[in-house]
Chain A
């Protein structure tokens, strides 16, 4: 199956700083999603981005499918951005394979 690696595993920032999270995958994909898991455990869809670039407020994502990686950018981070960020991919099958996540802590 597809392997998914996320980096860094942990990230600590001061409020207002910018950050980049990376997701590498081992095979071609037709689905790539970024999720934020908040401190209450809820999984929130951030982006559906198997290729290209998308932006939503302070967050943006870019997937370079030919090079098998995706980046999630968080600008002007806020304490409410804290939590775990997951990348998940699917190839020809419909079920997602998740990475191990990046634990983000934003300090006030």
Chain B
């Protein structure tokens, strides 16, 4: 059974960058499709981007296109999210999730990581 374990909470200054990791255990990592979703305090879920390690080419939501980088390390079965030029509006819980069926009518996320709180202060 696949599990996703994320790195711990981060506190960052405005203008800096943060890198969050998501390590997978179980399953064949290279064919996973992994997505990143964030949730600001009191708000809903927001899709940020995704990657399939074997292809290596990430896709980003337009909102984050110029400051988001999603990468993978197949040796450690880890996906990374790096967000730069942070502002207080980036304060949120960041989740990774494995996604299925992204090119079909039936699609879903399972499992989710436990979440990583990123706090941005001025």
Q: Do A and B come from one complex?
A: no
Contact surface of B with A, Cβ cutoff 8 Å:
none
